């Protein structure tokens, strides 16, 4: 009897662990760290990941702008002095497009004017290098709590709505709760309507650069989404362009 109870307890514990690992990504706060000092970027990203944050890291302003425009982040840590495009310019371009993602600017100790300019350009907070890890974590907790209250969780295109809080895709004829990767693919399409997104980009952004998954998994998940769009009577569709990628477009006629 005791052995049987132990076996049942083990199976329940193991099942809970698998469920937690499978769904961890859905509950993790997602950050972008834009820092051109490689050693600092590596150290900060390790600390953040140990504190259960999901972190994308870039090392120049152009990549930072591209990631912010094409991904959904809970907060951004943005260094001011970066190659290709400085952090202030990145921030101004982001705010000009109506993106209200919380931003912490990283500044050098003597750059008082940069702090003022950053705050005037739409930064939510700033940290002076070198900074204490505990302070960064505390400021991130404040920013992400505020964003959770203020952010509109719904995206719209045509007659469909995607809710980031519930992962529900809704149209005139009903709704579906999307699986994690379905949601991420639909989100990427909705944030870039009419824009071709290559299979490689889907793989890198959703499965990860080091993923061993075959590229045909992209087609499989897109086919799931296509069927759901038809079922909810959407007036938009996912179109394939041979050799180029996929795009979300309004139906003709």
Find tokens 């002095």 and name the residue.
81
User: What pLDDT score does 115 carry?
Assistant: 67
User: What pLDDT score does 112 carry?
Assistant: 65
Phi (first) and psi of residue 127, to 5 degrees: -130, 140
Give the pTM.
Answer: 0.53
Question: Tens-of-pLDDT digits for all 253 residues of the chain?
Answer: 444 544 443 443 444 444 334 443 444 688 999 999 999 999 999 998 888 888 899 999 999 999 998 887 889 999 998 999 999 999 999 888 878 888 998 887 556 666 677 777 888 888 888 888 888 898 888 877 755 544 557 888 999 999 887 889 999 999 999 988 898 899 889 888 888 888 988 888 787 766 778 888 999 999 999 999 999 999 999 999 988 899 999 998 6
Among 119, 54, 61, smallest CA distance to 90 is for: 61
Q: Map out the domains of the chain with their CATH numbers.
A: 8-150 (3.40.50.2300), 154-250 (1.10.10.10)
User: What pLDDT score does 230 carry?
Assistant: 96
**Kindly report the CA angle at 72 between 79 and 186, in degrees rounded to 5?**
155
């Amino acid at each position: 009897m005791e052995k049987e109870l132990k076996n049942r307890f083990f199976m329940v514990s193991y099942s809970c662990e698998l469920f937690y690992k499978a769904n961890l990504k859905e509950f993790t706060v997602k950050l972008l760290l834009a820092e051109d000092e490689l050693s600092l970027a590596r150290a900060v990203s390790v600390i953040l990941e140990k504190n259960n944050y999901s972190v994308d890291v870039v090392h120049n302003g152009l990549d930072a702008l591209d990631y912010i425009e094409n991904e959904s982040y809970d907060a951004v840590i943005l260094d001011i002095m970066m190659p290709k495009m400085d952090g202030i310019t990145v921030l101004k371009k982001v705010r000009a497009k109506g993106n209200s993602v919380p931003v912490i600017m990283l500044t050098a100790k003597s750059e008082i004017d940069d702090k003022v300019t950053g705050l005037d350009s739409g930064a939510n907070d700033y940290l002076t290098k070198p900074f204490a890890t505990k302070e960064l974590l505390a400021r991130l907790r404040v920013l992400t709590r505020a964003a959770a209250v203020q952010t509109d969780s719904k995206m719209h295109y045509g007659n469909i709505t995607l809710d980031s809080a519930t992962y529900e895709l809704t149209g005139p004829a009903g709704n579906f709760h999307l699986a994690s990767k379905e949601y991420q693919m639909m989100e990427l399409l909705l944030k870039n309507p009419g824009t071709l997104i290559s299979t490689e980009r889907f793989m890198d952004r959703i499965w990860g650069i080091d993923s061993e998954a075959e590229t045909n998994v992209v087609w499989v998940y897109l086919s799931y989404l296509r069927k759901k769009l038809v079922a909810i009577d959407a007036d938009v569709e996912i179109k394939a362009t041979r050799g180029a990628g996929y795009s979300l477009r309004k139906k003709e006629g």
